[in-house]
Structure 1
Amino acid sequence: MTILYQIVNEILNLYKWAVILAAVFSMLVAFGVLDTRNRLVWTIGDFLYRVTEPALRPIRNFLPNFGGLDLSPLVLIFVIYVAQMVLARVYGAIVYGNIQGLLL
């Protein structure tokens, strides 16, 4: 059970970093620091887009339009953080029998 918890927690951590990298990457492209005509830059951007967009699109559809400001990565990072907290409480309840920690 411990290894399953660690794997899921690590996947959530990696996905959180992918969301952060995608947000920074898109800002750098928008400000003209990175040129997407470069094949390596385009490949990295395409990978980050394909990994993060399925989770960000429903959030963008739900949030109101703030003009050029995209808050969906912040919302997704918060959701991942909450998922990690819930996962830790469920893990503690299963492994240590701590039902009180699960309810609080």
Structure 2
Amino acid sequence: MLSLFQILLLILDIAWFFIVAHVIMSWLINFQVLNLNQQFVAQIWYGLNRILDPVYNKIRSFLPNMAGIDLAPLVALVGVYALRIVISNNMQSFY
């Protein structure tokens, strides 16, 4: 059972990394540090969008419109962190 919890925590860590990478890339693209005309950058950006947009769209459906501020990544990060806490705190009850 411990292995299952460790695998779940690994999946949550990967999701955390993808969300943080997506946020950082969006800032770098908006400040024109990264250019989407570069093939490698574009592939990473569109890959992250394809992975994260379904999650963000579900979160955006219940968030109020904030006039240009997207809080979906922040809510997703808080959700991933909350799941990690719940899994870590309940791990001992399954021994």
Matched residue pairs, number? 95
SS in 2 for 1:80: helix
Aligned to 1:69: 69
Unpaired runs of at least 5, structure 2: none
Distance in 2 (CA, whole Å) between partners of 1:63 and 1:32 is 28
Q: Which residue matches 2:80?
A: 80
TM-score relative to the length of structure 2: 0.92
Distance 2:62 2:23 in 1: 18
1:36 is matched with: 36
Pairwise CA distance, 1:2: 0.9
SS in 2 for 1:62: coil
Per the TM alignment, residue 46 of structure 1 is displaced from its structure 2 partner at its CA by 1.0
| Structure showing greater Rg | 1
Q: Deviations over 1:28-80 (max 9, x none)?
A: 11222111011000001011111111111111121111122111111111111
1:1-104 aligned within 5 A: 1-95=1-95
Cα separation, 1, equivalents of 2:20 and 2:68 = 18
Return the TM-score normalized by structure 1: 0.85
Q: What is the CA-CA distance between 1:14 and the residue it aligns to?
A: 0.9
Q: Which amino acid aligns with 2:72?
A: S
Q: Give the RMSD, CA atoms, in angstroms.
A: 1.1
Deviation at 1:8, TM superposition (A): 0.7
